[in-house]
Chain A
Amino acid sequence: MSLLDALPTPRIRWEGQHPNVVLISLSLVMLCAFWTVDVVSLAPNRIVMGTGYGALEAFGWPGVVLITLLLSSIGLFACQPTLPHYRALLTVVVGLMALMPVGLIASGLLLIDPELPQARLGIGTAYWVVLFVLMLCLVEIRLRLNLTRLWPTLLLTGVALVWWLCAALWLDNLALVQEFRARDRQFLTAVGQHIRLVSIAVGVSVVLGLLLAMLMRRYARLQKGAFTLLNFLQTIPSLALFGLLLAPLAWLAAKVPFLAQLGVSGIGTTPALIALIAYSLLPMVRNTYIALEEVSPDTLEAAKGMGMRAGQRFWQVRLPLALPVLLEGVRITTVQAIGLTAVAALIGAGGLGTFIFQGLGQAAMDMVLLGALPILIMALVVDAGLGALAEALRPGGH
């Protein structure tokens, strides 16, 4: 051993520990954005685009110094990335995220004239950039610390709680909050509709997908035809498919009163659901089919050799082994459906897309955010949740 210690190994000395260039560059990006781009904007009312304010005006000297120090500390810690430094980095990043609403409160106090309580505080570009980059930092730190997904999820939930608390108690001037207060009922209904549409579409396509995949395994001819058709459907842009369904369904509803009684119409839930299911089938069927096919023939041969009957082989061997890939299919399908349901608002199916398109129509950006942000969050939550479930179900956790 002593001989080895004496070996000249200059090249390797820093191999595990050279500066984390990623975090350093991310820290620089954040500093740039913080110093150069608008942090908040202030508008006298809902429609007028607000005037932007930089960091100095929004936070005052003490705030700017504090945040600059925190942001640069990310870069500084990253220069010598040891385990304690990574832990410190995690604290700084999460702390910054939790501080963000506090900054908004501060700039509200600094900027808003008490005489004009109607003024609306908008979140500026720098805020979004810093938030996004902080997320990237979190991902990077998670990867370097080899944490499971659970940890950042818990931390982010904590951060979200802080945001919610601040929004509920002190951020009355924030445009997003005002927009929500003005239509909180509508918002909750829209969320409900969105979730309902997605669940029905995904639920139906899971059942149909399983059936179709099993039929395909039996009839090879069906396999090629069905995949061709589903691929074809997937290629057609969502707006076009929704549009193409409008006319025939309206015609059907007009000609067949019974269907109209059932709620079929050109506009609304029916065409939305038909299109959503059509889109959901491809990822569902593909993953189910692959999942069932992928199970190693050796394992199945062994199960057969041990004397398991066909039913037992399917339920006890094939299905459990296929489950993670199958769940992966459900994840992709659900995330896709969440996005597509937003488009369905255009044909009157309701859901959060309504806010997006109404807001765009009225040039009310905060209303657009009110629709888009929950959709984004929903997609991320479903993605993380189902991803974690699939990971947990994988034997041996891999």
Chain B
Amino acid sequence: MSDQLSVMQSRQQAPMWLWPMLWGALLLISVMGMPYAEALFRWIEPNARQVIYTRAEFYVLLGRHLLVVGVAAAVTIVVGVLAGIAVTRERGHDFLPLVGQLASLGQTFPPVAVLALAVPVLGFGTLPIMVALMLYGLLPIVRNTLTGLQEVDADIKMASHAMGMTPTQTLRQVELPLAAPVILAGIRTSVTINIATAALGATMGASNLGDPIIAGIVNGNMAYVVQGALTIALLALTVDSLFELLQRKLRSRLSTS
């Protein structure tokens, strides 16, 4: 019985790994191979003087993009999850309604508008973009942390108290593991939005994978646009499929369904 189960699981795991590997490989190929694909892009833009974006290497752009999104994500995950935990504890309970409202309202703010409003306050460059991404990416994580923690069955929470678990033990051993899939979904939303929004940062003085697109649009060079767009799209798909994989793993480990 259990043997059968594990066989089935491993059979499911094979295609699970497939997508991130595939997208990741394509991303690598496009980043490393871009300088050698001149013939291909010449076909798109036969008359341009230059068809490969060379102001910066693509792997450098990718690295900067990942750095901005990564740092923003790391900060938002820590702050967001902690905030979500804080307002669902007894002491922070007063803040719960307001934070809940704010987090659900967060979806309403268009990312472009938030980014644009950040510039007058914070200025141009990578750091302001990072701060804007943090603020914006915080809300989905807080919202999902709240939802996840609040959705944990009241009976289960009561049982854990009644069995003599301390609040910290309840949080770490019961509430967080049960809320993890929902929290992870929030992180996924946040990171996906931030990858897209960071690209817009190219218009605000941050240098990343959005650069070739903006440069291409400004100079009317379609080849640049396609190079940038392709790389960002592949990056987004790679990261997203990694999250998908992570979520599946978590779900199969929790095996609640």
Q: Give A contacts to B, CB under 8 Å.
A: 20-22, 125, 128, 136, 139-140, 143-144, 232, 235-244, 246-247, 250, 266, 332, 335-336, 338-340, 342-343, 346-347, 353, 356-357, 359-361, 363, 365, 368-369, 371-373, 375-376, 379-380, 383
Known: A369-B120, A380-B108. 5 other contacts (CB 8 A): A128-B121, A143-B101, A247-B226, A369-B117, A379-B108
Q: Which of B95, B105, B213 has the most CB of A within 10 A?
A: B213
A278 CB to closest chain B CB (Å) equals 13
Contact residue among B94, B110, B196 (Cβ-Cβ distance under 8 Å from A237): B196
Give Cα A139–Cα B196 distance, bound, in whole angstroms. Answer: 30
B181 near A: Cβ within 8 Å? no
Q: Is the CB of A360 within 8 A of B116?
A: yes
B230 near A: Cβ within 8 Å? yes
Q: List, in ascending order, chain B residues with CB within 8 A of A336's CB.
A: 110
Q: Is the CB of A236 within 8 A of B116?
A: no
Q: Which residue of A lies closest to B110 (CB)?
A: A339
Q: List, in ascending order, chain B residues with CB within 8 A of A236's CB.
A: 232-233, 236-237
B162 near A: Cβ within 8 Å? no
Q: Is the CB of A240 within 8 A of B233?
A: yes
Q: Is the CB of B113 within 8 A of A376?
A: yes
Q: List, in ascending order, chain A residues with CB within 8 A of B247's CB.
A: none
B217 near A: Cβ within 8 Å? yes
Q: Is the CB of B116 within 8 A of A237?
A: no
Give Cα A136–Cα B228 distance, bound, in whole angstroms. Answer: 39
Q: Is the CB of B236 within 8 A of A240?
A: yes
Q: Mark B17-38, 1 if CB is under 8 A from A, else 0.
A: 0000000000000000000000
Q: Which residue of B lies closest to A380 (CB)?
A: B108
- Count chain B residues whose beta carbon lies closer than 8 angstroms to a beta carbon of A: 44
B13 near A: Cβ within 8 Å? no
Q: Mark B105-143, 1 if CB is under 8 A from A, else 0.
A: 101111111001101110010000000000000000000
Contact residue among A20, A338, A365 (Cβ-Cβ distance under 8 Å from B120): A365
Q: List, in ascending order, chain B residues with CB within 8 A of A266's CB.
A: 222
Q: List, in ascending order, chain A residues with CB within 8 A of B111's CB.
A: 339
Give Cα A395–Cα B105 distance, bound, in whole angstroms. Answer: 24
19 contacts between A and B (CB under 8 A): A20-B94, A22-B94, A139-B101, A143-B97, A236-B233, A239-B199, A243-B216, A243-B217, A243-B226, A244-B230, A246-B226, A339-B111, A342-B113, A346-B203, A356-B116, A360-B116, A369-B120, A375-B113, A379-B109
Q: List, in ascending order, chain A residues with CB within 8 A of B195's CB.
A: 237
Give Cα A106–Cα B232 distance, bound, in whole angstroms. Answer: 48
Q: Is the CB of B240 within 8 A of A247?
A: no
Q: List, in ascending order, chain B residues with CB within 8 A of A136's CB.
A: 98, 102
Q: List, in ascending order, chain B residues with CB within 8 A of A371's CB.
A: 116
A276 CB to closest chain B CB (Å) equals 13
A228 CB to closest chain B CB (Å) equals 11
A279 CB to closest chain B CB (Å) equals 11
B204 near A: Cβ within 8 Å? yes
Q: A343-B112, A379-B109, A379-B110 are in contact. Are A239 and B222 (CB under 8 A)?
A: no
A52 CB to closest chain B CB (Å) equals 12
Q: Which residue of A lies closest to B101 (CB)?
A: A139
Give Cα A250–Cα B46 distance, bound, in whole angstroms. Answer: 14
Q: A247-B44, A369-B120 are in contact. Are A239 and B229 (CB under 8 A)?
A: yes
Give Cα A383–Cα B213 distance, bound, in whole angstroms. Answer: 31
Contact residue among A335, A347, A353, A365 (Cβ-Cβ distance under 8 Å from B112): A353
Give Cα A342–Cα B109 distance, bound, in whole angstroms. Answer: 12
B61 CB to closest chain A CB (Å) equals 13
B13 CB to closest chain A CB (Å) equals 19
Q: Is the CB of A379 within 8 A of B113?
A: yes
Q: List, in ascending order, chain B residues with CB within 8 A of A237's CB.
A: 195-196, 199, 232-233, 236
Give Cα A218–Cα B228 distance, bound, in whole angstroms. Answer: 40
Give Cα A356–Cα B95 distance, bound, in whole angstroms. Answer: 34
The 3 closest A-B pairs by CB, nearest first: A339-B110, A237-B196, A243-B229
Q: Is the CB of A240 within 8 A of B199?
A: yes
Contact residue among A140, A238, A339, A357 (Cβ-Cβ distance under 8 Å from B113): A339
Q: Which residue of A lies closest to B240 (CB)?
A: A235
Q: Is the CB of A243 within 8 A of B225?
A: yes
Q: List, in ascending order, chain B residues with CB within 8 A of A125's CB.
A: 121
B52 near A: Cβ within 8 Å? no
A253 CB to closest chain B CB (Å) equals 12
Give Cα A144–Cα B108 distance, bound, in whole angstroms. Answer: 23
Q: List, in ascending order, chain B residues with CB within 8 A of A242's CB.
A: 229
Q: List, in ascending order, chain B residues with CB within 8 A of A363's CB.
A: 124
Q: Is the CB of A21 within 8 A of B94?
A: yes
Q: A244-B229, A371-B116 are in contact. Are A335 and B110 (CB under 8 A)?
A: yes
Give Cα A281–Cα B206 distance, bound, in whole angstroms. Answer: 31
Q: A235-B236, A235-B237, A240-B236 are in contact. Are A372 and B203 (CB under 8 A)?
A: no
A266 CB to closest chain B CB (Å) equals 7
Give Cα A386–Cα B94 distance, bound, in whole angstroms. Answer: 29
B122 CB to closest chain A CB (Å) equals 9
Q: Is the CB of B121 within 8 A of A140?
A: no
Q: Is the CB of A22 within 8 A of B232?
A: no
Give Cα A339–Cα B106 distance, bound, in whole angstroms. Answer: 13
B257 CB to closest chain A CB (Å) equals 18
B192 near A: Cβ within 8 Å? yes
Contact residue among B117, B119, B124, B214 (Cβ-Cβ distance under 8 Å from A346): B214
B210 near A: Cβ within 8 Å? yes
Q: Is the CB of A332 within 8 A of B107?
A: yes
Q: Is the CB of B120 within 8 A of A239?
A: no
Q: A240-B236, A243-B216, A379-B113 are in contact. Are A368 and B120 (CB under 8 A)?
A: yes
